Amino acid sequence: MDPETLLRHAAQRARREPTLLGFLLAQYQEHYGLTEKRLAEVLGIDELGLARLSLCGLPRRTSFFEDVGAIAGRTGVRERELAVIIREAEFLRNRRRERDAWFNFRAARRQEDDEET
Amino acid sequence: MMDEAALRAIHRRLLDGDPTASLDLVEQASEEIARVLGSKYTVDPTWIADAVTDALFDVIRRPESFRSDLGSLSHYLIMSAEGDLKNRIQRERKHLSVVSLEAVEDDASEGKTPLADQIADPDVDPDRWVEEMDPTLTKTVLEELPDECDRKMLQLMMERERRTSAYADVLGIPHLSAEEQRRIVKQHKDRIRVRLQRALKRQGWRDGS
């Protein structure tokens, strides 16, 4: 198996790996119904570049812009667009978590009510 | 051969939380690990790619799991990937032997399970029998599949999805050639079919009702 195929395979798996950027990008893509090609265009890279970007870790909170700069330097992605997309994807992820927590809370309350009656 | 000094430097960066270190690890190590596994085992290349990715992601996720005082990172990664691959091979072998044993038992018994037999028939379109199954039954068998990927594939089959690309996305192989995708997707569908056959038999489903 050649290195590019292995890299693309790993990048696809990164879409399900919360510690990697691929996970956030996949959620962003899904939310806006973007194809990989379109997302790559927005970020100013090709699809192989997007695969490489997916394998990067998440920028640290304490050095967010510095880390985004390092990722951009390593992958050729547009720095500003990447920062915006990561922030928005994080916002979407947090909102989804809050919504899930709320549904779980409601479901637990309903169950408690059912058991009491 | 992997450059151990370079791998150690990447490992230190992973410990520091450097977000570009994971990409560097994949680019530095995956080809060599795949080469070593490929030279020892003749299996589906995606199994090797999965084992390589699992080993790398384990270290990326928990870099502290590798202790640099106990050996080389390249050796650790190869051992980890090889362990995953061996487990997978064993799982598949065990699975196949259970299925063939069940087939023999069925032949010996009087009561046939037509639906289960139909599922086992490789000439039957694996999508068609799923679509034609009783919805309550498909829900039950869906719960029988522990692997998330298998469940997603079965769901697509139940939704009458015909495009190979949709299944390839679930399997994480959209980058492979169309022919390769078709082959691997068929392989996975066949495997799901066999698993469902076992589940149906275990639950005593007969006459497809």
Rounded to a whole number, what is the distance in Å from the CA of A113 to chain B's nearest CA?
28
Name the token pair of B133: 């199954």
Residue B126 has pLDDT above 60, yes or no: no
Could you say which of B23, B50, B173 has the minimum Cβ distance to residue A52? B23
Average pLDDT of the segment spanning B174-198: 79
Of B140 and B27, which is predicted with more confidence?
B27
Q: Looking up tokens 């920028």, which residue turns up?
A: A59
pLDDT band, very low/low/confident/very high, at B110 (cuts 50, 70, 90)? very low
* Sign of the four-CA dihedral B80, B20, A86, A72: negative
Residue B27 has pLDDT above 70, yes or no: yes
Q: Tell me: the pLDDT tens digits for B147-171?
A: 777 878 888 887 777 888 888 888 8
User: Which of B2, B15, B18, B20 to probe the A interface (max A CBs under 10 A)?
Assistant: B20
The answer to whether the CB atoms of B172 and A12 lie below 8 A apart is: yes
Q: How far apart are CA A74 and CA A61, in angstroms?
A: 19
Could you say which of B30, B46, B176 has the minimum Cβ distance to residue A7? B30
Q: Tell me: the pLDDT tens digits for A44-72?
A: 999 999 999 999 999 999 999 999 999 99
Q: Tell me: the pLDDT tens digits for B43-62?
A: 889 999 999 999 999 999 99
Could you say which of B23, B45, B175 has the minimum Cβ distance to residue A55? B23
Residues of A in contact with B23 (CB under 8 A): 52, 55-56, 74-75
> Would you call B128 an interface residue with chain A, using a CB distance cutoff of 8 Å?
no
Of B164 and B174, which is predicted with more confidence?
B164
Helix (H/G/I), strand (E/B), else coil: A57: strand
Which H or E element spans position A39?
Answer: helix A36-43
Residue B79 has pLDDT above 60, yes or no: yes
Residue B82 has pLDDT above 90, yes or no: yes
Q: Which amino acid is residue B40, in one-letter code?
A: K
- How high is the pLDDT of residue B208? 41
Chain A residues with CB-CB distance to B under 8 A? 1-3, 5-10, 12-13, 15, 17, 19-21, 51-52, 55-60, 67, 70-71, 74-75
The answer to whether the CB atoms of B20 and A19 lie below 8 A apart is: no
Of B7 and A108, which is predicted with more confidence?
B7
Of A82-91, B23-32, B93-102, B107-116, the one with minimum mean pLDDT is B107-116
Residue B106 has pLDDT above 70, yes or no: no
ipTM score of the complex?
A: 0.86
Mean pLDDT of chain B: 79
Show the domain range for A76.
Answer: 3-116
- What percent of chain A has pLDDT above 70? 100
- How high is the pLDDT of residue A94? 87
- How high is the pLDDT of residue B94? 72
pLDDT band, very low/low/confident/very high, at B209 (cuts 50, 70, 90)? very low
**Number of domains chain A contains:** 1
Contact status, residue A1 vs residue B34, Cβ threshold 8 Å? yes
**This model's pTM is above 0.80:** no
Residues of B in contact with A52 (CB under 8 A): 23, 27
